[in-house]
Amino acid sequence: MFVATLNAQNAPITFQSSGKQTALIELYTSEGCSSCPPAETWLSRLKGSPGLWKDFVPVAFHVDYWDYLGWRDPWASKLFSDRQRAYTKQWRSDSIYTPGFVLNGKEWRNWSGQMDGPKSDGAKAGVLTVSSSGTNRWQVSFALANTGGADCEVHAALLAGGLTSDVKAGENRGRLLSHDFVVLTFVKASLLRNGDVAQGDFAIPVRPNTAGGSLALAVWITLAGHLEPLQVTGGWLARPVSGR
């Protein structure tokens, strides 16, 4: 398979949060779900928000459990469905559904009444810095706050925007669907502590079938084995270049 690397035009890329907590917005969605397009339209509006990447970072996980209706979502993954199921298990919920929003690890049902993404509540969370020198390998440094000495993990999602699908079957048959902040690749890695700083790195391959769209990276820190984010950062990336 061809793998693309990020073209940073020979310039380092760095994303850094403030010391206040940035919110992580997760949307669980599917092209096989007729009620999902309004949620995706709402998420797409966040592209123009001044709070994007500073107050909040949005990601859209496409799930695969609606594929049986006749349309296979090209962006869906069982990994993403399992992540949503892990949330419902943690919440002791009996239902899994789309569209489903998660805000900082908690079920979020009143998203539709919001004109914009959430504002930071000002809670101290620590500074998260991720950087790369023009490759698909990223270095991570997290100046911890209030973790009680526990181990941490880094989670990274490569995102694509400006994607469209001409749906031929299922509940959205005949519709041209548009998507932003779609998770293409999702990885996690352990971090090593050095005093009050957790450090490590991760490699994230780029899928080559995103021509004409935009790319972004979302990165967040959790306690090891947990889903709730401690801190989040991210931003837009340069276009990918194909290679082997």
**pLDDT on residue 211:** 55
Beta strands (DSSP E) in 71-180 are: 100-103, 106-108, 127-132, 137-143, 152-161, 163-166, 176-179
Structure tokens at 152: 């941490």
Stated as kind and residue range, the H or E segment containing 98 is none
**pLDDT on residue 194:** 87
For 89, the 3-state DSSP assignment is helix
Half-sphere exposure of 73 (CA within 13 A, CB side): 32
Q: Parse the chain into domains and list their residue ranges.
A: 3-110+122-237
**pLDDT on residue 206:** 67
Place of tokens 């990994």: 79
d(CA 136, CA 210): 16
**Strand 100-103 to strand 23-29: parallel, antiparallel, or no bridges (unpaired)?**
antiparallel
**pLDDT on residue 239:** 52
d(CA 142, CA 127): 6
Output the pTM of the full model.
0.91
**pLDDT on residue 210:** 58
**pLDDT on residue 8:** 40
**pLDDT tens per residue across all 244 residues of the chain:** 223 345 444 578 999 999 999 999 999 999 999 999 999 999 999 999 999 999 999 999 999 999 999 999 999 999 999 999 999 999 999 899 999 999 999 999 999 888 899 988 888 999 999 999 867 899 999 998 777 778 999 999 999 999 999 999 999 999 999 999 999 999 999 999 988 899 999 998 866 555 567 999 999 999 999 999 999 999 998 654 443 3
